[in-house]
Amino acid sequence: MIDLKEKHCKPCEEGTTPIQADEIGKFKEEVSDDWKVVDNKKITKEFPFENFKRGMAFAQNVALIAETENHHPDMCIHYSSVNVELSTHKIGGLSANDFILAAKIDEL
């Protein structure tokens, strides 16, 4: 089996059904425990940093990965942390793409 971080995001078609709780649980096992599932519709993780400059550098690296994968998270940058939220907006819930991107972000 290929690690999620080795996979690439694939465009979702409108009308695609979001993944359900049992499949979410399987994908969740392949990313760090710090990712939290919210209402089975999104995953979030807070990344702490010692200062704003380090957080901004991290956010820029996330942006580069997101552009490469054409799957973009919502990010909120604070002085000493960056909150990342992943969801597949086109389908109104979670897809494999969210966990693929989470695995790649975990590698940073």
**Domain regions of the chain by residue span:** 38-91
CATH architecture of the region 38-91 = 2-Layer Sandwich (3.30)
Residue 1 has pLDDT above 70, yes or no: no
pLDDT at 14: 78
- The pLDDT of residue 68 is 97
Place of tokens 């693929």: 100
Would the pTM of this model clear 0.75, i.e. be above it?
yes
Closest among 75, 54, 77 to 63, alpha carbons compared: 75
Q: Is 8 helix (H, G, I), strand (E, B) or coil?
A: coil
Please provide the average confidence, as pLDDT, over all residues in the chain: 95
Digit-coded pLDDT (tens) for 21-71: 999 999 999 999 999 999 999 999 999 999 999 999 999 999 999 999 999
- Bridge partner residues of 92 (DSSP): none
Query: Residue 12: what pLDDT?
Result: 87
